[in-house]
Amino acid sequence: MGIQDITLNRNNYINVGKEGSFLSGNDPIFNSTPQEIDQLFKELKDNNKTKIVLYFHGGLVPAKDGMDTAKRIVHYVEKNTDAHPICFIWETGLYKTVMHNLSIVEKSEFFKKLMVKVIKIAGKKLGIEAIDGIGNSKGVETMKEAEIQNELDKEEPFQNYHVNVSSKSASVIDAETVKTEIELEARLLPEIEAELEEEIESDDEFKRIAAEEKSDEETKLMNPLYQEAEITEGKGIISSAKLITASVKITYNVIKRHIQKRDHDFYPTVIEEILREVYVSNIGNWLWGSMKKKAADMWKPSNFTGDYQNWHVGSYFVKKIEEYQKEIGKPLTIDLVGHSAGSIVICELFKIVKSEKSNLKFRNIMFFAPACRCDLFDEAILSSQERFSSFRIFTMKDDLEKQDHLVKFLYPRSLLYLISGILEEERDACILGLQRHITGNLPYLGDLFTRIKTFLADDGKIVYSKSDDTALSGFKTGSLSHGGFDDDKETTLDSMVYIINQ
């Protein structure tokens, strides 16, 4: 029998509806009610259960995928522990939307031409050299556009490259010594503007593609700042002047991020900056923001009067936990597990129990490839260490993160890199599950990073995949992808149940 064939008991999952409430979600078949949560706690009491596991899946999945994950978790916990598992299904269905939007951009002739121009100028300024399969290198500066396009046809463009310091432009070398944004712009922008203006004005094909009407799908994704609003009969039309403006901003930000050591390697950074400047306002960042809002909304305080559909699911659940603990006269043993954006839900839970002065406490916190921001983790978890007994992260080392290709050819990095580089508001947003952001190395310095590094320095706080064969129980993980931590042949789940059984 496969996971899909298992029918999940209503006492093992809670569905979070629109805006974190009991309102119907996108798939009404999974809806939950306060009465069902009441019944869940009645079953806990009838079976004398005082040990529960709360599992929060990633936030970009539709309800069905979230339910399949819940079935797998419930089956594994019930089979191997004496705890009662409860999974929160808080689907947002954003993953397919983001992937669809990326596929639209990937097919765009305008996007492809813009990408070549940015690579050509930014690569030249930075001294980027591509290395072929036998070790020969060739500077972007000497590449013809057809050669750049050949590199872009690879599954991971510019996978092997290095920076030839002697080939860097004088303006970049000079800019590496400045300390302010104004000085950086003064060193870089004039040269970038001059070269891109010459490149674009002399490329009639590129100007033609930019000025052509785009598809409805692509137009909807494009930044309206660059579209010619006065041309009502055309869609997605970009003038030469606006094309130059966009290209300069993108190229400048690619170079700046390399200078400040905030790049995600050369090619992924180019993609991130193009998407941010020309497309990203509609490609996913507002979707990601709405998902984070739902993670917080589910815990909003309610007075639990009037139509129950307006009550917030998480706050009702917390109320029932507090009532149950009071009824049985002792605290429950509560373990929290969050995969990817599920870590954001747990952080928001900590914030609300602190602000509401709840006496709720937890035993273990386990994060699988956490997508929460480092500053949220610091605010919610590190400031409330008296509320939990132990903590452990399971995530990938940076080299594996870079090998987890979200979109082959277009974006050869993991979902956490996409969140950091595109979906969050600022560039290279610091994400707890990315190794580069939590080791306290340059350029990630300051009190925030020191607190996180110090906290994680204790033995057992963080486990990097892939663990070796000598790893102790509770410290094993085998995931080679962001989505694999709850399904890596149960290696990480073995660690989870070991921790639950302690």
Q: pLDDT digits over 456-483, tens only?
A: 998 889 999 999 989 999 999 999 999 8
β-bridge partners, 367: 338, 393
User: What is the percent of the chain with per-residue pLDDT over 70, rounded to a whole number?
Assistant: 95
pLDDT in tens, 40-85: 999 999 999 999 999 999 877 777 788 888 999 999 999 999 999 9
Three-state DSSP state, 5: helix
34-38, 123-127, 219-223, 365-369: segment of lowest average pLDDT: 219-223
Distance CA 52, CA 336 (A): 9
Backbone φ and ψ for 410, nearest 5 degrees, come out as -85, -55
For residues 297 and 19, is the Cβ–Cβ distance under 8 A? yes
Distance CA 370, CA 368 (A): 5
For residues 351 and 359, is the Cβ–Cβ distance under 8 A? no
pLDDT attached to residue 65: 81
For the four alpha carbons of 135, 141, 145 and 148, in that order, the dihedral sign comes to: positive
User: Within a 10 A sphere around the Cβ of 297, how many other Cβ atoms?
Assistant: 20
Distance CA 412, CA 435 (A): 17
Q: How confident is the model at residue 369 (pLDDT cuts 50, 70, 90)?
A: very high
- Say whether pLDDT at 389 is over 50: yes
Distance CA 130, CA 121 (A): 14
pLDDT attached to residue 29: 66
State which amino acid sits at residue 294: K
365 token code pair: 């916190």
Q: What angle do CA 250, 256, 261 make, to 5 degrees?
A: 130
User: Within a 10 A sphere around the Cβ of 145, how many other Cβ atoms?
Assistant: 15
Closest CA to 86 of 324, 394, 388, 395: 324
pLDDT in tens, 343-356: 999 999 999 999 99
Instruction: Return the biggest CA–CA distance within the chain.
Output: 79
Show me where the domains of the chain are located.
Answer: 13-96+290-501, 109-213+223-281
- Say whether pLDDT at 281 is over 70: no
Closest CA to 265 of 420, 154, 142, 159: 159
State which amino acid sits at residue 217: E
pLDDT attached to residue 325: 96
Q: How confident is the model at residue 232 (pLDDT cuts 50, 70, 90)?
A: very low
User: Within a 10 A sphere around the Cβ of 114, how many other Cβ atoms?
Assistant: 24
Q: Which residue has the tokens 């700046």?
A: 256
Task: Note the pTM of the prediction, 2 decimals.
Answer: 0.95
Average pLDDT of the chain is 92
pLDDT attached to residue 266: 97
**CA distances (Å), origin 101, targets 110, 286, 372, 482:** 15, 13, 23, 20
Q: How confident is the model at residue 230 (pLDDT cuts 50, 70, 90)?
A: very low
For residues 451 and 378, is the Cβ–Cβ distance under 8 A? yes
E strand or H helix at 280, and its extent? helix 280-283
For residues 65 and 17, is the Cβ–Cβ distance under 8 A? no
Distance CA 103, CA 125 (A): 29
Summarize the confidence of residues 390-414 as an average pLDDT. 95
pLDDT attached to residue 26: 61
- What is the three-state SS of 385-407? HHHCCEEEEEEECHHHHHHCCCE
135 token code pair: 């070790």
Distance CA 280, CA 445 (A): 28
pLDDT in tens, 124-182: 999 999 988 787 889 998 999 999 999 999 999 999 998 998 899 999 999 999 999 99
What burial class does residue 127 get, using C-beta atoms within 10 Å of its C-beta: 0-12 exposed, 13-18 middle, 19+ buried?
buried
Q: 199-238 burial by CB neighbour count: b if 16+ within 10 A, else e?
A: bbeebeebbebbbeebeeebbebbbeebbeeeeeeebbbb
